[in-house]
Structure 1
């Protein structure tokens, strides 16, 4: 997805947010550097995830630490506190694929430093029932199900901490249907995205056939920086499951298909690009 003009103030707002998490006094420097990079690079033809990666990497250099470290830890803790409830919902559902997919999207309602709606890990508790009752505004899961059967190869790209706790339920269900699932997590710290440490701590080896990384800490997926494991996996798969908006930004103009997008649409740019509304949950399959 190309970066739209409205994405720029959103990106700068996130830069300010993560700076204030570490040291508010550094805000003039981080904002100046972010603005410099945007002014030098932005001409309307950049992939939004690529430019965001460049900005956040420079901000992390200035901050000297991962600003989201504690938030990621809390997000997983809060999600784990909800897990028994969510497991019960999935277990008692007539459509376990639907229930586990929707539950996995709900962790994505958290949006630190941008929307200011669900911005604390604890907000997940308040928001879960509301979002679950809303259901999926786009539900292509019945059409996607055939890609999860008979030994099909699934590449499952995770998104955020907290959310990844519920991803385990969906990966378990996809595996139960007969698929071979490769979990793909970030190769390094960026924003609140899950890494190999999160996947191992949550025992994803119990439900996934293998776990690999994107090969870098790029926002979404950098196909220029991906490691050999991911490059090989992207040559031999039956379907990609893409969680969250950043992965959508990377994959939407990549040509990799079939792909199932699972996400909460939280911004006007994604809504415009998908030709859907904001504040809805979707399971959108693209085959051609």
Structure 2
């Protein structure tokens, strides 16, 4: 997805959020914000992918803050709160006539575990407060039947994760994918370096995500979404041979929508107008959207 005008205030709002998260030093905050504004003015180009620009701006801010992971405490808290919700999720899955569908709905709700932007959680605790309401709302866009048929006939699937907290629910989803299709080879790809509240290999291993999948790889670098120019060869190979790709969250949509990878299913909350418009969906809905 190309960067849109409304991406600018959204990106700056998140920059402000992470500077305040990182330090109370006003001089350092000011330097980081100046760095972001200057670089964003230089980089803004409607012909460039939004995730590409966001990656460069966030990297410059992290450097200015001298902080490699401003979200570290939020990420740990997110995983803990999501883990506490597992008994509720397991009960929903057990009671559902379609375990896989229920696990997908839960995994999508986990996508609100994003911070510093509109439409996301204000705090990790918010997930507990809104979970039941969002589950009752169901899916605003529902390609589940088509996706389920793809999963049934697939032998290999690559899943790109998004946020901490959310990956706790993704682990349950991966387990249910295996339960539905025991022959399915599942490769999960997490971030190659700390970026925003996204899950890294360390975050994934802390919840033993590797125990329910066949392979766990990283994107190989610091990037919002996916930087395809720096993907490790093993990930490129997995993508090329995959029968199906599942991408969680908006940043992965921003990146993958610039490619021809198909079939690909996006499991996400449409937290902003730009993403919703690009996907031809309404804002603030849970969605399973399959591109074939």
Correspondent of 2:290 among 275, 279, 285? 285
1:177 aligns with 2:180: yes
- What's the counterpart of residue 209 of structure 2? 204
CA contact (8 A) 2:15 2:61 kept: yes
- What's the counterpart of residue 6 of structure 2? 6
Correspondent of 2:269 among 243, 252, 264? 264
| TM-score (ref. length: structure 1) | 0.97
- What's the counterpart of residue 139 of structure 1? 142
Partner Cα distance (1:206, 1:252) in 2 = 30
1:21 aligns with 2:21: yes
Gaps of at least 5 residues in structure 2 are: none
| TM-score (ref. length: structure 2) | 0.95
Residue 145 of structure 1, CA deviation: 1.4
- What's the counterpart of residue 36 of structure 1? 38
Correspondent of 1:167 among 155, 165, 170? 170
Residue 110 of structure 1, CA deviation: 2.9
- What's the counterpart of residue 109 of structure 1? 112
Runs of 4+ in 1 over 3 A off after TM superposition: none
Equivalent position SS for 1:35 = helix
Residue 114 of structure 1, CA deviation: 1.5
Residue 206 of structure 1, CA deviation: 2.3
Residue 267 of structure 1, CA deviation: 0.4
Distance of aligned partners of 1:6 and 1:150 in 2 relative to their CA distance in 1, 3 Å threshold: closer
Gaps of at least 5 residues in structure 1 are: none
Deviations 1:34-62 (A, max 9, x none): 11111111121110001000000111111
Farther off after superposition, 236-245 or 170-179? 170-179
Deviations 1:183-223 (A, max 9, x none): 11001100000011122111122210110111112000000
Aligned length: 287
- What's the counterpart of residue 61 of structure 1? 63
Residue 246 of structure 1, CA deviation: 0.4
Residue 3 of structure 1, CA deviation: 0.4
- Give the alignment of 1:226-237 within 5 angstroms: 226-237=231-242
